[in-house]
Structures are given as C-alpha cells and as structure tokens.
Amino acid sequence: MNKALPSPNDDVTCATFSADHCTVAFGTSSGRVHVVAVSKDWQDVNSLRRETLISAHQKPVLACAFSPGDSYLLTSSADRTMPLWCPRTALCKTVYVHHGAICLAFAPRGVHFATASNDNVARVWGVDSTEPLFEFLGHLGRLEICLFHPNGEYLATGSADATVRIWDYDTRAQMRLFRGHRAPIKALAYSVCGRFLVSGGRDDLIIVWDTTNERWLTTA
C-alpha cells in the first residue's frame, strides 16, 4: 500500500495506531490532530478516509497515544497542553498542563499513563485527575521515550543521558539501570513475556537486555 494519508498540508510530527489497528491518529506542525479510519484490507488503496479532525493546539503536536480499548486519544503539544479526547467525537475530557512531554504511554489497564519529558523527569498521571500522581527522578538528560511493562507494574524510560532505567510502579523506586549506549535512547520495546527489553539509540546500536539481572544479551 503506497497511498498517503489525507494531507493536512503541513508536517506530520507523530502518529499512532489504535489498539484494534483500524484507526490511525497523527499530529501535525500546525497543531491539528487527524483521526483516520483504515481498512483491514491493506490492498485497498482507496480505503482511507478522514474520520475526525481536531484543531486543538496552538503549536506543533509532539506526541499522541490511544488508550487500551481506544476509549481515549491523548495528545501533547509544544503549547504545553495535553488534552484527553474521545477520538470518535473530538470531545475533550480533560486538559493537562505538561512539562515538555515528548512521549506518551498508557498503562495496560488504561486508567494511568506516563509522560517522558525534556526536563529529565517521567511522570505518571490518571485519566480522572489533572495533576501528576507521582514522578520518577534520576535521569541526567532529557527523556526521549517511556514504555510500560506488559503487566503494568514497571515503567521503562530512555534518555539523552544514554541510559535505560526501569522503575517500580508501586514503590516509585528505580529497579534497573542499563548502560551500554553511547548516545540518546530513541526506542524501547518489551518482549511479550516482559523479561526482555530492547533499546535503540542514536549510536546505531540495538541492545537486548535481560531485565531480571541487567544482563546485556546481544547487540545489533
């Protein structure tokens, strides 16, 4: 399939699929958020249609994320706002004021989400509150990415300080510190079982870690 998504006539700054893979949302440099229905038949190049257009932000959209079950769409912007939307109706449930959130990640149950920010801090928020519930402090550079463990009990973060850290969701303590990259961390992915964590950095390294013992397993 090589058909482009409907063009908003400005740069696309972020994109995410819904949990059912039937909808894609993308944010733009103009501050708009487009929600597009996608046919499951990827050979049908005429299957894309714009479903919802959200003109919400005054500055570029930095990140977007669907909640598990696709009840909510969360967006963050350089205007420091972070609205929680109903993706079908474009109605806003809550507006948070964030601290430079450049990555968003929902916990598996969908009632909490995390932000990775350029002030070196990861924060956890609730969909029914407007202030952060708690913070994870320890990184020495801006956060680039955050990701919940499949069981929702841990949060992994990657930073410009070239480290990957794992935090305990209940105790708020740092559980693991992984060193091996020589440049900012740009990507994280858990294995389905949650034991292994893959990190990718601007040093062109991909490292597989065993999260039970901080062991560096392999590099690509």
- Residue 3 pLDDT > 50: no
Specify if 27 maps to a domain.
Answer: no
Q: Considering the domain boundaries, does residue 204 fall inside one?
A: yes
Q: Is residue 79 part of a domain?
A: no
Task: Specify the 3-state DSSP secondary structure of 72.
Answer: coil
Instruction: Kindly report, residue by residue over 7-37, the tens digit of the pLDDT.
Output: 546 899 999 999 988 889 999 999 999 888 8
Task: Tell me the sheet residues that pair with 136.
Answer: 122
CA-based nearest residue to 104, from 57, 153, 62, 136: 62
The tens digit of pLDDT for each residue in 146-183 reads: 999 999 999 999 999 999 999 998 899 999 999 999 99
Residue 154 belongs to some domain of the structure: yes
Domain for residue 24, yes or no? no
Residue 182 amino acid letter: R
6: confidence class by pLDDT, cuts 50, 70, 90: very low
Residue 176's CATH number: 2.130.10.10
The parent domain of residue 175 ranges over 98-219
Q: What is the pTM of this model?
A: 0.88
Q: Are the C-beta atoms of 198 and 214 separated by less than 8 Å?
A: no
Give one DSSP letter per residue of 120-135, joined into a string. S-EEEEETT-SS-SEE
Domain count, the chain: 1
CB 34 within 8 A of CB 6: yes
DSSP 8-state assignment for residue 91 = -
